A and B are shown apart, each in its own frame.
Chain A
Amino acid sequence: MTPDTENRNLDELDRAILNEIQSHFPLLPRPYAEVAARVGSTEAEVLARVQALYDSGVIRRIGANFTSRKLGYTSTLCAAHVPPEDLERFVQVVNRYPGVTHNYLRRHHYNVWFTLIAPSASRLEEILTEISRESGVEILSFPAVEVFKIKVDFPV
């Protein structure tokens, strides 16, 4: 699978930088100087490129992604069947929770799919009950029993 690169104004240097800071972010006091050394550029140029990629929205964020389970948190994937006329209100109720990190409208009888992370199993159940009560929509919850893959790096 070759990503469609035509409509993105990324040159070779942008791509090299993105691949480094996605997958091999240097844990050094001056990480961008190290990236510059790897891609054959200067720290100032790399910083300017990264800032531009941030500003144009290619980079969403730079930082740590935690394994929620290892911090004592619990998570689940939820689905709901929401009639079109109730959709806006339902999404408003669901999205207010900081633990709802992903929410997608999907082409299916169950048309709203969101992930929920909470500090405990009981809090998770409580949030689902609150959402159902407030929205009048029944929610299905499918907790993970095994993880085969979580990957967020995409070669560019």
Chain B
Amino acid sequence: MELSDLEQRVILALQQDLEVVPEPFEAVARRAGATVAEVLRVIQGLKERGIIRRFGATLRHQLSGFSANALVVWQVEAAELERVGRRLAAFRQVSHCYARRPAPGWPYTLYSMVHGRNPEEITALVAEMANEVGLDAYELLFSDQELKKTTMRYFREDDPE
């Protein structure tokens, strides 16, 4: 992916969160050595090219009502991945859905993150999903504790802190 010098500077400047101030792009522009208009134009362009996946506020799910989540792993034949993946992704309660490489002793190839108010709600929903895609080889892995959740900061040292 070709990035111009200005784009690279804006990406670096965006490794910090926006401040809650009337003109939050001023600080970004200062860090990038650019004008606010340039910064806004670059962000728009990076969004259009999918380099910025989204721009805005990230909420804590627990506090917005979705207190439970389960990683649901599905055993899906290679030829069926596309169909099942799309079908599961269409559920509103599924936030992430990926096909992943299996490993020895681990036959699961499709992963979906399912959110709900409590484990019972999630279990019922997953049974419904399984029925709909016609699969019975799956496991639910409920989360017991969040051990870390941060935002990736790019172009920095990745050695242990």
Interface residues of A (CB under 8 A from B): 1, 3-5, 8, 18, 21-25, 27-33, 43, 47, 50-51, 54, 56-68, 70-73, 77, 79, 91, 94-108, 110, 112-114, 117-119, 123, 127, 140-154, 156
Report how far A8 CA is from B81 CA in the complex, Å: 39
Collect the chain A residues with CB atoms within 8 Å of residue B141's CB: 106-108, 110, 113
Name A's interface SS: mixed
Residue pair B147, A91 in contact (C-beta under 8 Å): yes
> B80 near A: Cβ within 8 Å?
no
Residue pair B52, A64 in contact (C-beta under 8 Å): yes
Residue pair B143, A21 in contact (C-beta under 8 Å): no
Residue pair B100, A108 in contact (C-beta under 8 Å): no
Name B's interface SS: mixed
Collect the chain B residues with CB atoms within 8 Å of residue A100's CB: 148
> B134 near A: Cβ within 8 Å?
no
Report how far A27 CA is from B36 CA in the complex, Å: 10
Collect the chain B residues with CB atoms within 8 Å of residue A72's CB: 1
**Size of the chain B interface, CB-CB below 8 angstroms:** 81
Given contacts A29-B25, A77-B100, whether A24 and B148 have CB atoms under 8 Å apart is: no
Report how far A50 CA is from B17 CA in the complex, Å: 14
Residue pair A95, B147 in contact (C-beta under 8 Å): yes
Contact of A154 among B21, B23, B64, B88 (CB under 8 A): B64
Collect the chain A residues with CB atoms within 8 Å of residue B150's CB: 98, 101-102
Collect the chain A residues with CB atoms within 8 Å of residue B57's CB: 18, 21-22, 25, 50, 59-62
Collect the chain A residues with CB atoms within 8 Å of residue B158's CB: 97-99, 118-119, 123, 127
